[in-house]
Chain A
């Protein structure tokens, strides 16, 4: 009799994870307990709501983009100051002040973010820390506007469309309505291909750019969103509390936000909300902690990052998934990828001339020139350190050249950003397969198809059909590379041989006209090598120009139409495979001079 509801609950838990029972508990609490709650409880929960918004915003920059910003508290403080000052000095109500109190933190993030987001993690953390320090000092110093160290009291409360919300309960409901809306937006943005793109950006930043993802813009988007949420949180906070003080710009607010994000799980909407309620309520539950709440936060932060670094909700979901395995995701039916542009066989696609690239004193490329034509397979050989991979890196924009030109279909592409080059239909693989480890093979491939179609507005309007089409075409590519059996496995768990084939499928999702493969046959047995060579041949037959870096001659010689041998950054031989492999200079480069061998 009870089997059906039990199954229903199990299905709900398996699909929605821990978020479902949490939401149910919150709903029950709101209906049965909240109407009788004391003013004090309502007030604390209102504050918890503002911190939930703050942490939801932090999830974009810290969770999605993976950048440890230490300015999230600062953006909240700026929002609070803008709203509070507008209210006290010019009588602007809460909602009319919103554009400014959200806009100014976003503007600050835009000004700071463009140069600072290029920086690596540790520099970015310092830069955001310094921005916070400067803002705090200015707020304390500019007494005539901000009230200096004392701040400003008597900030009028929340209001909506000219109606002041006098009751605390109404204020609480408004704050939590914003949390619900903010949470919904964050969930919607994170679940689609934008979320997948962020996972690639975090896990494989170089590969992300090489498949056409504009990582700089995505990082900036995350930073701006985080600042916007923080500005909203700050303007709600200052109106709910009624006092503006420089404490809101201090480091403890940042620590609280970080603790919430780490405890709750940094990429989960439910995590940000649960974390905020737990962390903000904690000093109220454990009264003895009230003076030492930061001590408790420090201990909790340390404990969680050491014991369950994924945070509560993600860890709970993992346990749940073990108890109640979710229904397997249905495999999409494979569909062919519409080809973008078929190059006539023999058309010159890539012309490299006089390419120079230095690393310190070493000339990794020392005047390399070559042509590549549609439909041909060019083998690139040479001893270790001869510049093969550097050549691919320069052609694909990972490194700008120091001199020389790279022309693609007649257009100079030297020095373009990697994602722009990828979008011109130049794809590559890496020496060690660079797939985002947490994503399935299918997602890794599907995102490459959509890399040029990412962004805030597109993600907002995203529909399921678009995703289904991407997955079907990605499935088609996996079938083509004989990796379909592994479509749903996390890429980090794939054996190297499979990972390579998935990576080639991902490169094909870019719809390449030029395909550069860095040691695709490494680690494959002879049968697999022959199979790979056949598949590459059919790709070339469609007009794609393929460059294969290899040491493995039995694999390369029958596959390649031409060979080029590099040594110390120079082309030392070029031509038909047999001619190049028997060229004495090539043999010398690989084996050393006869004298060197003798000694």
Chain B
């Protein structure tokens, strides 16, 4: 397998993970709380895409705008149920309320769609593209394109709109933002909407190749969480970098025997998907112990 093909796989997976991690870090910065249902929002987006695809028979790309709007609405529901009533309580309360919300989403999905894996429609179709010796699926190219588009749109919103500036101000210091007359609660609800839309978009992108089940959100949540931890807690660019790193590990680690044929006998044991997950978890635990500030983050020293 050529390296370029692997890299394409890394980029496609990493781009989708980046969307999830971005939503996670946006909510983190806006509220100081972990949204534990971020992965279940991805799952909801996957099932949303499945349902829309069955109803309309459109391609994934055509479904995307409607899905983003629907997911943003779900994000508003999430904020109203899990954040607003608890905004004056310690962040751990929101952590727990979003765990509850995620459980509710999972079991609603189980009710509505059953436990069998379902596939969301592909973005453009099932074709393959050959260029420069790389044989790439249309889906992975379109995934990279869509994710890049969403990230750029987010960046433009943050840097070029009044809302974006307010969001950044709020993320830096909530109390000061409130004192400046920024409607903090409305901004937080908006952040949840954006985060849910990003997660839903990722759900559409991922659920074509990897399918979606009611419990597939847990994996995505862990990955977003890891991406934000190794990228530096609260760093937006770090979250994207962390997501790409995780994707690189997941794509490359099981492929090592393909690159180094001498290791082929161990491809089902030492290089299995399960071992890959264990290795990733162990690596993150090590990072947490040795560099709690993340791989890229500078050690933050706070006054007590």
Point out residues on A near B: beta carbons under 8 Å: 66, 68, 115-116, 118-123, 125-127, 129-131, 133-134, 137-138, 140-141, 206, 251, 255, 258, 262, 292, 294-295, 297-299, 301-302, 305-306, 309, 359-360, 389-390, 393, 398-399, 430
Q: Other than the known A126-B222, A306-B85, what 20 A-B pairs have Cβ atoms closer than 8 Å?
A: A116-B288, A119-B292, A122-B91, A131-B285, A134-B281, A141-B275, A251-B218, A292-B107, A295-B104, A295-B107, A298-B101, A302-B82, A305-B86, A305-B97, A306-B81, A309-B89, A360-B298, A389-B303, A390-B303, A399-B301
Are B288 and A298 in touch, CB under 8 angstroms?
no
Can you show 5 pairs from A to B with CB atoms below 8 A apart? A118-B292, A122-B95, A122-B233, A258-B96, A301-B96
In the bound assembly, the distance between CA atoms of A390 and B302 in angstroms comes to 11
Contacts of B100 in A (CB 8 A): 297-299, 301-302, 305
Q: Chain B at the A interface: mostly helix, strand, loop or mixed?
A: helix
6 shortest A-B CB distances, which residue pairs? A298-B103, A295-B107, A302-B100, A301-B100, A298-B104, A115-B289
Contacts of B275 in A (CB 8 A): 141
In the bound assembly, the distance between CA atoms of A137 and B274 in angstroms comes to 7
Instruction: For the complex formed, measure the closest distance between the CB of B55 and the CB atoms of chain A, giving whole angstroms.
Output: 25
Q: Chain A at the B interface: mostly helix, strand, loop or mixed?
A: helix
Restricting to B43-84, which residues have a CB under 8 Å from any CB of A?
81-82
Are B97 and A133 in touch, CB under 8 angstroms?
no
Given contacts A122-B233, A294-B107, A389-B303, A305 and B96 within 8 Å (CB-CB): yes
Are B103 and A297 in touch, CB under 8 angstroms?
yes
Point out residues on B near A: beta carbons under 8 Å: 34, 81-82, 85-86, 89, 91-93, 95-97, 99-104, 106-108, 110-111, 218, 222, 225-226, 229, 233, 274-275, 277-278, 281-282, 284-285, 288-289, 292, 298, 301, 303-304
In the bound assembly, the distance between CA atoms of A68 and B233 in angstroms comes to 18
Contacts of A298 in B (CB 8 A): 100-104, 106-107
Are A295 and B226 in touch, CB under 8 angstroms?
no
Contacts of A125 in B (CB 8 A): 34, 95
Contacts of A359 in B (CB 8 A): 301
Which residue of B is nearest A418, CB measured? B304
Contacts of B284 in A (CB 8 A): 126, 130
Are A141 and B289 in touch, CB under 8 angstroms?
no
In the bound assembly, the distance between CA atoms of A129 and B222 in angstroms comes to 8
Are A137 and B278 in touch, CB under 8 angstroms?
yes
Contacts of A140 in B (CB 8 A): 274
A130, A258, A305: the one within 8 Å of B93 (CB): A305
Contacts of A137 in B (CB 8 A): 274, 277-278
B85, B93, B101, B229: the one within 8 Å of A126 (CB): B229
Instruction: For the complex formed, measure the closest distance between the CB of A221 and the CB atoms of chain B, giving whole angstroms.
Output: 20
Are A133 and B104 in touch, CB under 8 angstroms?
no
Which residue of A is nearest B36, CB measured? A125
Which residue of B is nearest A202, CB measured? B90
Instruction: For the complex formed, measure the closest distance between the CB of B284 and the CB atoms of chain A, giving whole angstroms.
Output: 6
A116, A122, A130, A360: the one within 8 Å of B301 (CB): A360
In the bound assembly, the distance between CA atoms of A295 and B110 in angstroms comes to 10
Contacts of A430 in B (CB 8 A): 304
Are A138 and B292 in touch, CB under 8 angstroms?
no
In the bound assembly, the distance between CA atoms of A134 and B96 in angstroms comes to 22
Contacts of A116 in B (CB 8 A): 285, 288-289
Given contacts A141-B274, A262-B96, A306-B86, A130 and B107 within 8 Å (CB-CB): no
Given contacts A134-B281, A292-B111, A295-B107, A258 and B99 within 8 Å (CB-CB): yes
In the bound assembly, the distance between CA atoms of A121 and B28 in angstroms comes to 13
Are A255 and B91 in touch, CB under 8 angstroms?
no
Are A206 and B304 in touch, CB under 8 angstroms?
yes
